[in-house]
Chains A and B, each alone.
Chain A
């Protein structure tokens, strides 16, 4: 991001909108939106929300119980690399690896957003999030984090400095706290043995409901993208750039 990489670590980019509705949710919105976007996103799939709640039983035993959330519709491209998700007052545009560049992703977001507001006519934004999820795989048993990253956990000197798992998250306010950049760096499940995967998740969020008007979205997206690019480059060192094969 910002700089060009031959092997970029982005596994998913997404833009999520939560809306302040102008009227109660109308289930025909799913079908109307699908009609508009089906040439690009023809594959339909219902996403059933599961949650695990803990409920008490006799004797004070706590027992997990599955709970179901409201369904969402997912509309995939034929190659299943990009998708649109729709739920009550919720719209998400996702792009999985390979990421197509911001020059292509931003117009896609704006196009789907335009179709949605024509149909659903929301009053405004409750929340907007532009998010880039990066997975960096190391084919090594151990690494020195500070050789690759500028952002990592700080362990007090009197504790062992070798560790197996971690997760650090900070939220950095932007634009007088209207927006926040949630920056998460963590270990995740390895897909293969002896691989050390790290997750760098950059989520730029407008947290103040109706903090911008609907027509201000293009500028907000640009600012969000710039903040994410800068944060990404700030978090990594040249050793990472070598792994991603920077194109100069």
Chain B
């Protein structure tokens, strides 16, 4: 008897098409599996592309509460492109010795929820504040109107 459980954290989205490995247990294969390692930009399905993009984001960001972050991204799809953009902008300004996290915050009483990019940097507080301000002025201020108060960022010590 085989059972399948529902899950809070579904990892199957990650690498929807895994790389095929020689010696796989699939005994009925008579032709090598093809095309499994396609980047999602080659993905022409709108539905699957969205899932693959979320999977790619998980390689860039550390998802604090992965179920909630993924669900939020599925229902606020327009944020996905901004998160790719954010990753590049943050590294341009903060450098490479940082970690970037994604955290879903919700306040049920206030009926408010939002995704936070948490930049964990090794800098002293003055320098970190300066870089945070620079990120705001050079990038965030230009897109803030398009985010519907659903994405924000903050800095924390590493």
Contact = CB atoms under 8 A, between A and B. Distances in A.
Interface string A178-202: 0010001011111111111000010
A244 to B, nearest CB: 18
Given A169-B33, A171-B34, A85 B44 contact: yes
Contact of B46 (A83, A163, A184, A190): A83
Contacts of A50: 40-41, 53, 56, 84
Contact of A170 (B26, B34, B46, B51): B26
A10 to B, nearest CB: 10
A143 interface: yes
B138 to A, nearest CB: 17
Nearest to A143: B4
Interface stretch (A23-31, A114-122, A144-152, A212-220): A144-152
B33 A145 contact: no
B2 A146 contact: yes
Interface stretch (B69-77, B104-112, B118-126): B69-77
Contacts of A145: 2-4
Contact of A164 (B5, B28, B47): B5
Interface of B: 1-8, 10-13, 16-18, 26, 28-31, 33-34, 36, 39-42, 44-48, 51, 53-54, 56, 59-60, 67, 70-71, 74-75, 81, 84, 87-88, 96
Nearest to A51: B39
B7 A187 contact: yes
A142 B6 contact: yes
A126 to B, nearest CB: 12
A39 interface: no
Given A142-B5, A189-B74, A207 B13 contact: no
Interface of A: 11-12, 14, 16, 47-52, 57, 63-64, 66, 69, 83, 85, 90, 92, 94, 96, 131, 133, 135, 138, 140-146, 152-153, 155, 161-167, 169-171, 173, 177, 180, 184, 186-196, 201, 207
Contact of A14 (B1, B6, B45): B45
B30 to A, nearest CB: 7
A45 B40 CA distance: 17
A57 B40 CA distance: 24
Given A66-B88, A143-B3, A191-B71, 14 more contacts: A11-B47, A12-B45, A52-B56, A57-B96, A63-B96, A92-B44, A133-B45, A163-B4, A173-B30, A180-B34, A187-B10, A188-B51, A189-B12, A190-B7
Most buried by B among A48, A50, A155: A50
Interface of A (DSSP majority class): strand
Nearest to A70: B41
A196 B41 contact: no
29 contacts: A12-B47, A12-B48, A14-B44, A16-B44, A50-B56, A52-B59, A69-B41, A69-B42, A142-B4, A143-B4, A162-B2, A162-B4, A164-B7, A165-B10, A166-B12, A167-B16, A170-B28, A171-B31, A186-B12, A186-B16, A187-B10, A188-B10, A188-B16, A189-B10, A189-B13, A189-B51, A189-B70, A193-B67, A196-B7
B6 A138 contact: yes
Contact of B6 (A57, A155, A169, A190): A190
A83 B49 CA distance: 14
Nearest to A161: B2
Given A12-B45, A92-B44, A94-B45, A190 B1 contact: no
A182 B3 CA distance: 24
B12 A165 contact: yes
A171 B60 contact: no
